[in-house]
Amino acid sequence: MSDLPSRAQGAVLGLAAGNALGLPFESIWPASKIRQVTQGVVREIPDDTRESPWDDETAHFALVAESILETGDIEPRDLAQRLIRWRDENGRGMPVLLEKVLEEVEGDVPVLEASEEVCERLGKNWSAGNGSLVRAVPVALAAKGDRIRLVRMARDAARTSHWNPLCVGSTIALGLALDDLLQGREFDPASLAAEISSLGLPETVSQAVSGARLPLSAFQLDGKQKGWAIKSLQVALWAARAEGTVEEILERVILEGGDTDTNAALAGATLGASRGREALPERWIESLHDSSRLSDLAQALSR
Protein backbone atom coordinates (compact mmCIF):
# COMPACT_ATOMS: atom_id res chain seq x y z
CA MET A 1 0.00 0.00 0.00
CA SER A 2 1.51 3.32 -1.08
CA ASP A 3 1.63 6.40 1.18
CA LEU A 4 1.00 10.05 0.30
CA PRO A 5 4.61 10.97 -0.61
CA SER A 6 4.73 7.96 -2.94
CA ARG A 7 1.37 8.81 -4.52
CA ALA A 8 2.39 12.46 -4.96
CA GLN A 9 5.58 11.43 -6.73
CA GLY A 10 3.69 8.77 -8.65
CA ALA A 11 1.27 11.40 -10.01
CA VAL A 12 4.06 13.62 -11.28
CA LEU A 13 6.43 10.95 -12.58
CA GLY A 14 3.47 9.08 -14.10
CA LEU A 15 2.51 12.30 -15.89
CA ALA A 16 6.03 12.80 -17.25
CA ALA A 17 6.38 9.13 -18.25
CA GLY A 18 3.01 9.07 -20.06
CA ASN A 19 3.91 12.34 -21.78
CA ALA A 20 7.22 10.92 -23.05
CA LEU A 21 5.72 7.55 -24.07
CA GLY A 22 2.87 9.13 -26.05
CA LEU A 23 4.86 11.94 -27.66
CA PRO A 24 6.24 10.05 -30.72
CA PHE A 25 2.67 9.19 -31.80
CA GLU A 26 1.08 12.60 -31.25
CA SER A 27 0.77 13.42 -34.92
CA ILE A 28 0.01 9.88 -36.16
CA TRP A 29 -3.48 10.12 -34.79
CA PRO A 30 -5.50 7.25 -36.32
CA ALA A 31 -5.32 4.23 -34.01
CA SER A 32 -4.92 1.87 -36.99
CA LYS A 33 -1.79 3.71 -38.10
CA ILE A 34 -0.25 3.68 -34.61
CA ARG A 35 -0.89 -0.06 -34.32
CA GLN A 36 0.80 -0.58 -37.66
CA VAL A 37 3.86 1.53 -36.77
CA THR A 38 4.31 0.02 -33.29
CA GLN A 39 3.03 -3.51 -33.99
CA GLY A 40 0.92 -2.97 -30.90
CA VAL A 41 3.82 -2.48 -28.47
CA VAL A 42 4.52 0.86 -26.75
CA ARG A 43 6.56 0.16 -23.64
CA GLU A 44 9.78 2.17 -23.92
CA ILE A 45 10.46 5.86 -23.44
CA PRO A 46 12.51 7.20 -26.39
CA ASP A 47 16.29 7.41 -25.80
CA ASP A 48 16.52 11.15 -26.43
CA THR A 49 14.00 12.03 -23.69
CA ARG A 50 16.64 12.47 -20.99
CA GLU A 51 18.56 15.08 -22.99
CA SER A 52 15.58 16.94 -24.49
CA PRO A 53 13.61 19.71 -22.83
CA TRP A 54 10.31 18.66 -21.27
CA ASP A 55 7.32 18.52 -23.59
CA ASP A 56 4.47 20.92 -22.74
CA GLU A 57 2.56 18.71 -20.25
CA THR A 58 5.62 18.07 -18.09
CA ALA A 59 6.90 21.65 -18.48
CA HIS A 60 3.45 22.86 -17.43
CA PHE A 61 3.53 20.81 -14.27
CA ALA A 62 6.87 22.30 -13.27
CA LEU A 63 6.02 25.90 -13.99
CA VAL A 64 2.60 25.80 -12.32
CA ALA A 65 4.19 24.08 -9.32
CA GLU A 66 6.89 26.75 -9.07
CA SER A 67 4.29 29.50 -9.34
CA ILE A 68 2.19 27.97 -6.53
CA LEU A 69 5.24 27.48 -4.32
CA GLU A 70 6.26 31.09 -4.78
CA THR A 71 2.88 32.85 -4.58
CA GLY A 72 1.09 30.36 -2.30
CA ASP A 73 -1.82 30.27 -4.75
CA ILE A 74 -2.77 30.41 -8.42
CA GLU A 75 -2.02 33.94 -9.57
CA PRO A 76 -2.95 34.18 -13.28
CA ARG A 77 -0.50 37.05 -13.85
CA ASP A 78 2.44 35.22 -12.35
CA LEU A 79 1.49 32.05 -14.20
CA ALA A 80 1.21 33.90 -17.53
CA GLN A 81 4.65 35.49 -17.04
CA ARG A 82 6.16 32.04 -16.40
CA LEU A 83 4.41 30.64 -19.48
CA ILE A 84 5.86 33.49 -21.56
CA ARG A 85 9.38 32.76 -20.23
CA TRP A 86 8.95 29.06 -21.02
CA ARG A 87 7.68 29.87 -24.53
CA ASP A 88 10.77 32.04 -25.10
CA GLU A 89 13.13 29.34 -23.79
CA ASN A 90 11.71 26.54 -25.96
CA GLY A 91 7.93 26.24 -25.54
CA ARG A 92 8.07 22.66 -26.77
CA GLY A 93 4.57 21.41 -27.66
CA MET A 94 2.80 24.63 -26.64
CA PRO A 95 -0.94 24.55 -27.51
CA VAL A 96 -2.04 27.10 -30.13
CA LEU A 97 -4.75 28.53 -27.89
CA LEU A 98 -2.22 29.29 -25.15
CA GLU A 99 0.06 30.97 -27.66
CA LYS A 100 -2.77 33.28 -28.72
CA VAL A 101 -3.59 34.22 -25.12
CA LEU A 102 0.05 34.99 -24.32
CA GLU A 103 0.27 37.26 -27.39
CA GLU A 104 -2.65 39.29 -26.00
CA VAL A 105 -1.09 39.40 -22.54
CA GLU A 106 2.11 40.78 -24.05
CA GLY A 107 -0.01 43.47 -25.67
CA ASP A 108 -0.96 44.52 -22.12
CA VAL A 109 -4.41 42.92 -21.97
CA PRO A 110 -5.06 41.62 -18.40
CA VAL A 111 -4.65 37.83 -18.32
CA LEU A 112 -8.22 36.76 -17.63
CA GLU A 113 -9.61 39.27 -20.13
CA ALA A 114 -7.19 37.96 -22.76
CA SER A 115 -8.28 34.40 -22.03
CA GLU A 116 -11.98 35.24 -22.31
CA GLU A 117 -11.42 37.26 -25.48
CA VAL A 118 -9.50 34.44 -27.24
CA CYS A 119 -12.16 31.91 -26.18
CA GLU A 120 -14.88 34.06 -27.73
CA ARG A 121 -12.87 34.65 -30.89
CA LEU A 122 -12.22 30.92 -31.42
CA GLY A 123 -15.79 29.88 -30.65
CA LYS A 124 -16.99 27.14 -28.35
CA ASN A 125 -15.57 24.18 -30.31
CA TRP A 126 -12.08 25.46 -31.08
CA SER A 127 -11.59 26.82 -27.57
CA ALA A 128 -12.39 23.53 -25.79
CA GLY A 129 -8.91 21.98 -26.04
CA ASN A 130 -7.30 19.84 -23.36
CA GLY A 131 -4.33 22.17 -22.64
CA SER A 132 -5.40 23.24 -19.15
CA LEU A 133 -6.10 19.80 -17.69
CA VAL A 134 -2.52 19.09 -16.69
CA ARG A 135 -2.66 22.06 -14.30
CA ALA A 136 -4.99 19.95 -12.14
CA VAL A 137 -1.98 17.88 -11.04
CA PRO A 138 0.01 20.57 -9.18
CA VAL A 139 -3.25 22.10 -7.92
CA ALA A 140 -4.48 18.79 -6.45
CA LEU A 141 -1.13 18.28 -4.72
CA ALA A 142 -1.09 21.81 -3.30
CA ALA A 143 -4.70 21.73 -2.06
CA LYS A 144 -3.83 18.83 0.27
CA GLY A 145 -7.40 17.57 0.60
CA ASP A 146 -9.09 20.99 0.89
CA ARG A 147 -11.66 20.57 -1.89
CA ILE A 148 -13.00 24.14 -1.71
CA ARG A 149 -9.51 25.51 -2.22
CA LEU A 150 -8.87 22.93 -4.93
CA VAL A 151 -11.95 23.98 -6.93
CA ARG A 152 -10.98 27.66 -6.77
CA MET A 153 -7.35 27.03 -7.69
CA ALA A 154 -8.23 24.66 -10.55
CA ARG A 155 -10.74 27.19 -11.89
CA ASP A 156 -8.17 30.01 -11.84
CA ALA A 157 -5.44 27.78 -13.28
CA ALA A 158 -7.66 26.74 -16.19
CA ARG A 159 -9.00 30.23 -16.81
CA THR A 160 -5.50 31.66 -17.14
CA SER A 161 -5.66 30.54 -20.77
CA HIS A 162 -8.65 28.23 -21.25
CA TRP A 163 -11.78 30.26 -20.47
CA ASN A 164 -14.22 27.78 -22.04
CA PRO A 165 -16.49 26.33 -19.29
CA LEU A 166 -15.76 22.80 -20.57
CA CYS A 167 -12.03 23.36 -19.99
CA VAL A 168 -12.61 24.90 -16.56
CA GLY A 169 -15.05 22.13 -15.58
CA SER A 170 -12.78 19.35 -16.84
CA THR A 171 -9.78 20.76 -14.99
CA ILE A 172 -11.78 20.95 -11.76
CA ALA A 173 -13.16 17.42 -12.25
CA LEU A 174 -9.71 15.98 -12.84
CA GLY A 175 -8.38 17.84 -9.79
CA LEU A 176 -11.13 16.43 -7.56
CA ALA A 177 -10.54 12.88 -8.85
CA LEU A 178 -6.80 13.25 -8.25
CA ASP A 179 -7.53 14.48 -4.73
CA ASP A 180 -9.50 11.29 -4.00
CA LEU A 181 -6.65 9.17 -5.30
CA LEU A 182 -3.91 11.11 -3.49
CA GLN A 183 -5.83 10.82 -0.22
CA GLY A 184 -5.95 7.05 -0.75
CA ARG A 185 -9.67 6.90 -1.51
CA GLU A 186 -11.23 5.03 -4.36
CA PHE A 187 -12.51 7.39 -6.99
CA ASP A 188 -16.22 6.87 -7.57
CA PRO A 189 -17.54 8.24 -10.91
CA ALA A 190 -21.15 8.54 -9.70
CA SER A 191 -20.39 10.59 -6.59
CA LEU A 192 -17.86 12.77 -8.41
CA ALA A 193 -20.45 13.40 -11.16
CA ALA A 194 -22.95 14.50 -8.48
CA GLU A 195 -20.32 16.78 -6.91
CA ILE A 196 -19.61 18.36 -10.34
CA SER A 197 -23.33 19.01 -10.85
CA SER A 198 -23.66 20.55 -7.39
CA LEU A 199 -20.86 22.98 -8.26
CA GLY A 200 -22.90 24.27 -11.19
CA LEU A 201 -20.34 23.06 -13.75
CA PRO A 202 -21.53 22.08 -17.27
CA GLU A 203 -23.67 18.95 -17.52
CA THR A 204 -21.31 17.69 -20.28
CA VAL A 205 -18.56 17.48 -17.65
CA SER A 206 -20.61 15.51 -15.10
CA GLN A 207 -21.77 13.17 -17.88
CA ALA A 208 -18.15 12.64 -18.91
CA VAL A 209 -17.26 11.81 -15.29
CA SER A 210 -20.08 9.23 -15.08
CA GLY A 211 -18.77 7.82 -18.38
CA ALA A 212 -15.46 6.84 -16.74
CA ARG A 213 -17.12 3.43 -16.26
CA LEU A 214 -17.32 2.85 -20.02
CA PRO A 215 -14.75 0.82 -21.97
CA LEU A 216 -11.85 2.83 -23.42
CA SER A 217 -13.06 2.36 -27.01
CA ALA A 218 -16.26 4.28 -26.17
CA PHE A 219 -14.31 7.56 -26.00
CA GLN A 220 -13.27 7.33 -29.68
CA LEU A 221 -9.99 9.03 -28.91
CA ASP A 222 -8.87 9.19 -32.55
CA GLY A 223 -12.26 10.40 -33.80
CA LYS A 224 -13.56 13.94 -34.14
CA GLN A 225 -12.52 16.48 -31.48
CA LYS A 226 -9.42 14.46 -30.66
CA GLY A 227 -7.78 17.16 -28.54
CA TRP A 228 -11.03 17.95 -26.73
CA ALA A 229 -10.80 18.57 -22.97
CA ILE A 230 -13.70 16.18 -22.32
CA LYS A 231 -11.99 13.25 -24.07
CA SER A 232 -8.75 13.68 -22.15
CA LEU A 233 -10.69 13.94 -18.89
CA GLN A 234 -12.46 10.68 -19.68
CA VAL A 235 -9.30 8.76 -20.51
CA ALA A 236 -7.60 10.01 -17.33
CA LEU A 237 -10.54 8.92 -15.17
CA TRP A 238 -10.87 5.62 -17.01
CA ALA A 239 -7.19 4.84 -16.38
CA ALA A 240 -7.55 5.33 -12.62
CA ARG A 241 -9.99 2.42 -12.51
CA ALA A 242 -8.48 0.22 -15.23
CA GLU A 243 -7.09 -3.22 -14.53
CA GLY A 244 -3.57 -4.31 -15.43
CA THR A 245 -0.09 -2.87 -14.91
CA VAL A 246 0.72 0.79 -15.54
CA GLU A 247 2.66 -0.30 -18.63
CA GLU A 248 -0.31 -2.20 -20.02
CA ILE A 249 -2.79 0.59 -19.35
CA LEU A 250 -0.69 3.40 -20.87
CA GLU A 251 0.03 1.21 -23.88
CA ARG A 252 -3.70 0.72 -24.38
CA VAL A 253 -4.30 4.47 -24.12
CA ILE A 254 -1.63 5.30 -26.72
CA LEU A 255 -2.78 2.59 -29.12
CA GLU A 256 -6.22 4.23 -29.17
CA GLY A 257 -4.63 7.19 -30.98
CA GLY A 258 -5.79 10.81 -30.93
CA ASP A 259 -3.86 13.25 -28.74
CA THR A 260 -1.61 10.47 -27.46
CA ASP A 261 0.87 12.50 -25.42
CA THR A 262 -1.69 14.51 -23.46
CA ASN A 263 -3.95 11.49 -22.96
CA ALA A 264 -1.10 9.30 -21.73
CA ALA A 265 0.28 12.11 -19.52
CA LEU A 266 -3.07 12.56 -17.75
CA ALA A 267 -3.68 8.80 -17.52
CA GLY A 268 -0.15 8.44 -16.11
CA ALA A 269 -0.97 11.07 -13.49
CA THR A 270 -4.12 9.32 -12.23
CA LEU A 271 -2.40 5.91 -12.31
CA GLY A 272 0.58 7.22 -10.37
CA ALA A 273 -1.67 9.03 -7.88
CA SER A 274 -3.63 5.87 -7.21
CA ARG A 275 -0.80 3.30 -7.18
CA GLY A 276 2.25 5.29 -6.08
CA ARG A 277 5.73 5.68 -7.50
CA GLU A 278 6.52 1.97 -6.97
CA ALA A 279 4.00 1.04 -9.65
CA LEU A 280 6.03 2.89 -12.31
CA PRO A 281 8.87 0.97 -13.97
CA GLU A 282 12.19 2.26 -12.62
CA ARG A 283 13.67 2.30 -16.16
CA TRP A 284 11.01 4.84 -17.16
CA ILE A 285 11.92 7.15 -14.29
CA GLU A 286 15.61 6.87 -15.20
CA SER A 287 14.81 7.84 -18.82
CA LEU A 288 13.04 11.09 -17.91
CA HIS A 289 14.56 14.53 -18.20
CA ASP A 290 15.40 15.85 -14.70
CA SER A 291 13.15 13.43 -12.81
CA SER A 292 14.70 14.52 -9.49
CA ARG A 293 13.40 18.07 -10.05
CA LEU A 294 9.92 16.66 -10.70
CA SER A 295 10.06 14.54 -7.51
CA ASP A 296 11.28 17.51 -5.47
CA LEU A 297 8.41 19.69 -6.71
CA ALA A 298 5.87 16.93 -5.96
CA GLN A 299 7.21 16.68 -2.44
CA ALA A 300 7.36 20.44 -1.85
CA LEU A 301 3.78 20.94 -3.02
CA SER A 302 2.26 18.10 -1.01
CA ARG A 303 4.15 18.69 2.22
C-beta of 55 vs 195, nearer to Mg ion? 55
C-beta of 180 vs 261, nearer to Mg ion? 261
C-beta of 56 vs 104, nearer to Mg ion? 56
Least Cβ distance, residue 93 to Mg ion (angstroms):
4
Please give the Cα distance from 101 to 113 (Å, whole number): 9
Least Cβ distance, residue 57 to Mg ion (angstroms):
5
Measured distance between the N- and C-terminal CA atoms of the chain, rounded to whole angstroms: 19
Least Cβ distance, residue 55 to Mg ion (angstroms):
4
Least Cβ distance, residue 86 to Mg ion (angstroms):
13
C-beta of 157 vs 193, nearer to Mg ion? 157
* Axis crossing angle, helix 56-71 with helix 4-22, rounded to the nearest 10: 140
C-beta of 61 vs 187, nearer to Mg ion? 61
Least Cβ distance, residue 42 to Mg ion (angstroms):
16
Q: Residue 186: count other Cβ atoms within 10 Å of its Cβ.
A: 9
Among left, alpha and beta (phi > 0; psi -120 to 50; other), residue 129 is beta
259 binds Mg ion (CB under 5 A): no
Decide if 213 contacts 189 (C-beta within 8 A).
yes
**Which member of 261, 263, 269, 288 binds Mg ion (CB under 5 A)?**
261
Instruction: Pick the stretch among 124-132, 208-216, 222-230, 261-269 that binds Mg ion (CB under 5 A).
Output: 261-269
Instruction: Pick the stretch among 90-98, 106-114, 167-175, 230-238 that binds Mg ion (CB under 5 A).
Output: 90-98
DSSP state of 129: B
Contact string (CB under 5 A) for Mg ion, positions 19-58, x = contact:
------------------------------------xx--
C-beta of 7 vs 231, nearer to Mg ion? 231
Q: Name residue 120's beta-bridge partners.
A: none
Please give the Cα distance from 172 to 205 (Å, whole number): 10
218-228: burial string, b at 16+ Cβ within 10 Å, e else: ebebbeebbbb
Closest CA to 16 of 48, 83, 61: 61
Q: Residue 30: count other Cβ atoms within 10 Å of its Cβ.
A: 13
Considering only residues 91 through 110, tell me which ones interact with Mg ion, judged by CB under 5 A: 93
Total residues in contact with Mg ion, by rule CB under 5 A: 4
Judged by the rule CB under 5 A, the positions of this chain that interact with Mg ion are 55-56, 93, 261
